[in-house]
Amino acid sequence: MTKKHGKHHHGHLATASGVTKSPGSSHPASGGDSDPASPIRPAEGILTVPPGEPFDLAGVDADADGGLDKDWAKEALREQRARIETLQERLYAERRRSLLLVFQAIDTGGKDGTIRAVLQGVNPQGCTVASFKVPSTEEMDHDFLWRYHQRTPGRGMIGVFNRSHYEDVLVVRVKGLVPDAVWQSRYGLINDFERLLAVSGTTVLKFFLHISKDEQKARLQARLDDPEKHWKFDPADLVERKSWDAYQAAFGDALTRCSTPHAPWLVVPANRKWFRNLVIARTIADTLEAMDPQFPEAPKGIADLTVPD
Ligand code: ADP
């Protein structure tokens, strides 16, 4: 299914995986308005926010499960993990491009669980995970993208953002932490930042995990009811829940304004964890496959060498 990305360039400038056309690359269209040269391959069941069009988050069924069977899906997840593992080794060996996985969701939306379930088995040396909390004083003393840019994956790496630069148009907006004009200017800056990453050889996969308000209630209650889950419960989550509608509006704007051909937003129905895990794992595996990482060419004459005694 996948095509080669043309000749490999030596030196430090990788061919952009998401933007520039490489000789002879004509990936089969993945549907929607996505960039034809983009390797991003959303799995069936995931909604790609069409760039440049308003997106109605309220219209997304968080319960969707694609009609799949839960036990079958758990088995299928194992297969997708194995694909990710194999392709990651190639990405690492090739050392030309990288993959950034961005996870955003409302509290209890399942970011941690997804990262654990989907990236199990991935070589830890080829993967970095950054969790973004309330910014430190040093971080606040810089432009809002500073702390995120430092954690983007280097060549050959898969980088995971547990929360991301989107917090600066989400919690910051909902809590009114900066003047309106400041967060409003950020959508364009975020698009520029993601474009910089894309032209520099980083494929950006942005997953929004969509749960319903009822599901959040059930998950918070479960944390209260089970002593082993108490550590996950934060009383502040109950306060945040009161701002549910404001968060949905902020998510809606971020999805609408920051879905671009080079970094589209992928909305994942996430009430059912097993469905969420499978479609995300499949998307990562299919995208890595479309990136088509290659082992570097062996030095000439290596096959004739023998190891001396
Ligand atoms: P998590 O919920 O991700 O497991 P925490 O419970 O420590 O981890 O929550 C991190 C907190 O940091 C969240 O409340 C989030 O809104 C906040 N946060 C993240 N980024 C920012 C930011 N840029 N500005 C203000 N608050 C932020």
Q: How far is the CA of 133 from the centre of ligand 1 (A)?
A: 4
In a domain, 3, yes or no: no
Q: Which atom of ligand 1 is nearest to the CA of 170?
A: 16
* Mutation test residue for ligand 1: of 106, 140, 146, 163, the one with most atoms within 8 Å of CB: 163
Residue 2, domain member (yes or no):
no
Domain extent at residue 260: 12-28+37-294
Percent of the chain with pLDDT over 70: 88
| Residue-wise pLDDT tens digits, 233-278 | 999 999 999 999 999 999 999 999 999 999 999 999 999 999 999 9
Q: State how far the Cα of 39 lies from the Cα of 164, in Å rounded to an integer.
A: 22
In a domain, 169, yes or no: yes
Q: What is the pLDDT of residues 122-176, one digit of tens each?
A: 999 999 999 999 999 999 999 999 999 999 999 999 999 999 999 999 999 999 9
Would you say residue 231 has pLDDT above 50? yes
pLDDT of 76 over the 80 cut: yes
Ligand 1 probe mutation, 107, 132, 134, 230, most atoms within 8 A of CB: 134
pLDDT in the model for residue 298: 87
In a domain, 5, yes or no: no
| Per-residue model confidence (pLDDT) at position 299 | 87
Sign of the alpha-carbon dihedral angle for 14, 19, 20, 23: positive
What pTM does this model have? Answer: 0.89
| Residue 154 burial class via C-beta count within 10 angstroms: exposed 0-12, middle 13-18, buried 19 and up | exposed
Residue 171 lies in a domain: yes
Q: Which residues line ligand 1 (CB under 6 A)?
A: 107, 131-135, 163, 167-168, 171-172, 234
Q: What is the CATH number of the domain that holds 115?
A: 3.40.50.300
Distance in Å, CA 256 to ligand 1 centroid: 22
Q: Which two tokens stand for residue 255?
A: 């999805």
Q: Is 302 part of any domain? A: no
pLDDT, averaged across the chain: 90
The closest residue, in CA terms, to atom 6 on ligand 1 is: 234
Tell which one of 171, 183, 239 to mutate to probe ligand 1, the residue whose CB is within 8 A of the most ligand atoms. 171
How far apart, in Å, are the Cα atoms of 102 and each of 7, 77, 165, 236? 29, 19, 9, 24
Q: Render pLDDT for 45-61 as a digit per residue (tens, 0 to 9).
A: 999 999 999 999 999 99
How many domains are there within the chain?
Answer: 1
Identity of the amino acid at 67: G
Instruction: Give pLDDT tens digits for 6-41.
Output: 333 333 333 333 333 333 333 333 344 556 689 999
**Is residue 262 in a domain?**
yes
Q: How many residues does the chain have?
A: 309
Position 119 in a domain = yes
